[in-house]
A and B are shown apart, each in its own frame.
Chain A
Amino acid sequence: QQQVKQSPQSLIVQKGGISIINCAYENTAFDYFPWYQQFPGKGPALLIAIRPDVSEKKEGRFTISFNKSAKQFSLHIMDSQPGDSATYFCAASMRGGNTPLVFGKGTRLSVIA
């Protein structure tokens, strides 16, 4: 019940295309869903996050779509650029604040010109 399942494991997208990464969870106590971006040799960095009271959140080229009934959420990267090439992790945590994040296994994104 603590798992967050992420797919695909790897993704290759043409420059200018849309990258889509999906995650699913089981634990209905999760109420915070961030996406982290990690470049080689670096720690994960928060990209965008959503709470279940909204179905979508957009920040620049990055959008999270959230489906509470299906217990799924996804990251869309519009106009993907070579600089977006990184590993992306979805995560979830429970109510109460400052609770540990449960991470998906990650998606390695490669944006090719």
Chain B
Amino acid sequence: EAGVAQSPRYKIIEKRQSVAFWCNPISGHATLYWYQQILGQGPKLLIQFQNNGVVDDSQLPKDRFSAERLKGVDSTLKIQPAKLEDSAVYLCASSLIGQGLQETQYFGPGTRLLVL
């Protein structure tokens, strides 16, 4: 079974530029998460999708970050304009729909972003 795919793996941009990340979850997984992992810290949720609907985006800096999940499969996360503090690894994770049970979240390898 293929895992969660992410691209690009690395990105270097200047501050105030824009950048987009792509995620392809495990086939059949309805729930998709984007996490931000700053160096030396644990991942922090940015946004959660259930199929193509947003479940939780309370920690997404909406003035500069946006995300979409068209057709309930692939997802893109965009930053515009980027700030120095956005330098981090952006992780995508997916899980099946649970019947009130916590489903395992499977993580992709992440996209490492450096903002100069």
Contact = CB atoms under 8 A, between A and B. Distances in A.
Given A100-B33, A100-B45, A103-B42, 6 more contacts: A31-B102, A45-B107, A95-B100, A98-B98, A100-B56, A101-B43
Interface string B24-67: 00000001010000001111110010100001100000000000
Interface in A86-102: 89, 91, 93, 95-101
Interface string B79-116: 00000000000010101011111111111111000000
Interface in A15-66: 31-32, 34, 36, 41-46, 49
A104 B106 CA distance: 17
Interface residues of B, number: 30
B4 interface: yes
A106 B42 contact: yes
Contacts of A46: 104-106
B45 to A, nearest CB: 4
A104 B42 contact: yes
A105 interface: yes
Interface of B: 4, 31, 33, 40-45, 48, 50, 55-56, 91, 93, 95, 97-110
**Contact count band on A:** 20 to 34
B103 A101 contact: no
Contact of A43 (B31, B44, B107): B107
Nearest to A103: B42
A64 to B, nearest CB: 14
A45 B104 CA distance: 10
Nearest to B112: A41
Nearest to A90: B42
Contact of A99 (B40, B102, B106, B107): B102
Given A44-B43, A106-B42, A93 B91 contact: no
